[in-house]
Chains A and B, each alone.
Chain A
Amino acid sequence: MNPMIGKELQQRMRERRGWILPSVYLLVLGGVVAFAYFLARENRTDVQGSSLGVTIFTTVVFAQLSLLLILAPVFSSGAITLEREQRTLPSLLTTLLSPLQIWWGKFAASTLFVLLLLFVALPVLSVSFAFGGVGPREVFMATLNTLIALTTVSLIGLFWSSVFRRSVYATAVSYASVIGLAVVTAIIFFILIAQKGSDNWNEIAVWKKLAIYFNPYALVIFGFAPTKLLYPEWVRSVCCFAGISLLCAWLTVRNLRNGDDNS
């Protein structure tokens, strides 16, 4: 096993945030479920069963995605800058670990932590099963797409971490990138379709939809389409996220390979 993964996980779980963040995260998600339930019951007295389940599920999925988009950069954007700040990077780079192994260790540890958060939230997400209207496929697709989006965000954070010397800058730019993906892409999309807009999604030109393919919320929404309709929108969106991920991974490994030259 890559020693970086063991070391990273050990360090993360020993930090106070290693148990505080999952606890707060679960509390917030639990609160969101309760809020969604009472809001649905409050607004419509006739809300029953499946429709209540769908409301709770959708609310939890997007709340979870929002929370994790906030948390993911915390785990990744300091991964390499912290090595610089505590002056351990030169020692690390002069071992027999390749830059790829160092990157993989950092990436796996930050993604495994996000996976842990997704995993512990599954029971909360499954509350909606009790009301019907939501099946395992929806839960699976929501979890898969959340994971894809968060993997990309983690890789973006790692990339910025390999660029900057200080964690504070890497974290700030990582959050700016998350805002870019989650908010700016949506704004661009809505501005573009507002011009000579059409109500029919299929009539919108692909280039006008390009920005929204990079939006994590849109990725999750595209994933709820029936299996036969996953192509083209969901597939295109996944490809866009994969493209960003690969680019960030390559640039991060390249920066590590340059050693002290870029620090």
Chain B
Amino acid sequence: MTHIIEVDSLIKNYDGSRGLDGFSLQVPEGAIFGLVGPNGAGKSTLIKTLATLLKPTSGSARIAGFDVREDTAEVRSATGYMPDQPGVYQEMRIREFLNFFAAAFRLSRHERDQAVQQALDFSGLADRAEAFVEELSFGMKQRLVLSKTLLHEPRVLLLDEPATGLDPMARIELRQQLKALNAAGVTILISSHILSDLEDICTHIALIAEGRNAVDANGHSILHLQGAVPVSEPYEISVVSDPAAAETLLRSLNGTHFLERNGTVIRVEIAGGPSEAARILTALVAAGTQISLFQPSGGLEERYRAVFSRRHA
């Protein structure tokens, strides 16, 4: 498998603090890779480093084979970066804004005209091309900035919290746009706190905490959300009586990973999909456990909670 982003033991020191502490990551070409972790985990630092805005203290990071420290021009040509609070030139017209960035990416006049028109179409702002940027709503400005990052047809999109501040409709549109871009071959690395959005679009999720790779109960730092790789899924089991016996049994069964017991509610992770879940359920019933509820207990949000609440504790 080709990895378009390769991060190896990346360390980034600030004055008196450490933004990244040996973080590693490999993003396959064509993936939509989510980056999740609590505030201050190092998500923005990682994305800024990949975007060549920050120089790594040590370790290496390569995009499309180019070193982010040495080959900055090549990396910038290959990537489109959207910061967490994307800024715009309010007093420019929308077409001028796009034209300026197209020129800044050294597109020829012909390429520029084409790219700007494509960006206008992509953002749905074609009929407002001569309007001033300041007239746009926040969501439209966000769309404009996203389309601006696509002017030079990057192979990789680095998006730092792109959905922050967007209303639900704008978030849905953003997800559709990202899926369309991914279908067109663009690899996307996206950080977000909106886990439901990530769950909808991402093929993989990388866990990050305190600048390092965080791991779930199974020792995975990368969660596969889509694709052929078997996933481990959290389940919630409510037992009617004797939860301690049920816990003991679950701890002894292969294919389950005990997470926690809260009264009569037990949470486990089951690897191997629905057939494995059915086997566990059968084993519980065969052992005489009375069960009132047995269901997957949410997706990414639950897994996030399992990983990061453990770290908080």
Interface residues of A (CB under 8 A from B): 3-4, 6-7, 10-11, 14-15, 83, 86-97, 258-261
- B89/A88 in contact, CB under 8 A: yes
Most buried by B among A6, A90, A91, A93: A91
Residue of B nearest to A86 (CB): B87
- A10/B96 in contact, CB under 8 A: yes
- A95/B86 in contact, CB under 8 A: no
* Interface secondary structure of B, over-half rule: loop
* A15-B91, A259-B53 known; A96-B73 Cβ under 8 A: yes
Q: What 4 A-B pairs have minimum CB-CB distances, sorted nearest first?
A: A87-B87, A95-B104, A3-B103, A88-B87
Complex interface residues of chain B between 43 and 72 (CB less than 8 A to chain A): 48, 51-55
Contact of B92 among A11, A95, A259 (CB under 8 A): A11
Can you list 12 A-B pairs, Cβ within 8 angstroms, ordered by A? A4-B104, A14-B91, A15-B91, A86-B90, A87-B86, A88-B87, A90-B51, A91-B145, A94-B81, A96-B73, A260-B53, A261-B54
- A11/B89 in contact, CB under 8 A: yes
Known: A15-B91, A89-B87. 8 other contacts (CB 8 A): A7-B89, A7-B92, A14-B91, A92-B104, A94-B76, A94-B81, A96-B152, A259-B55
Residue of B nearest to A12 (CB): B91
B106 contacts the other chain (CB 8 A)? yes
* A94-B76, A96-B73, A259-B55 known; A86-B104 Cβ under 8 A: no
Residue of B nearest to A92 (CB): B104
Query: Measured between alpha carbons, how far is A122 from B41 in the docked complex, in Å?
Result: 59
- B53/A91 in contact, CB under 8 A: no
- A90/B83 in contact, CB under 8 A: yes
B85 contacts the other chain (CB 8 A)? yes
Return the CB mask of B143-158 against A: 1 if under 8 Å, else 0.
Answer: 0010011001000000
Return the CB mask of B77-102 against A: 1 if under 8 Å, else 0.
Answer: 10101010111111110001000110
What A residues does B87 contact at CB under 8 A?
A: 83, 86-91
Contact of B53 among A4, A11, A14, A93 (CB under 8 A): A93
What A residues does B106 contact at CB under 8 A?
A: 96
Return the CB mask of B116-129 against A: 1 if under 8 Å, else 0.
Answer: 00000000000000
Residue of A nearest to B132 (CB): A14
B138 contacts the other chain (CB 8 A)? no
Query: Measured between alpha carbons, how far is A96 from B100 in the docked complex, in Å?
Result: 12
Query: Measured between alpha carbons, how far is A228 from B54 in the docked complex, in Å?
Result: 53
- A90/B81 in contact, CB under 8 A: yes
Contact of A260 among B54, B103, B148 (CB under 8 A): B54
- A91/B100 in contact, CB under 8 A: no
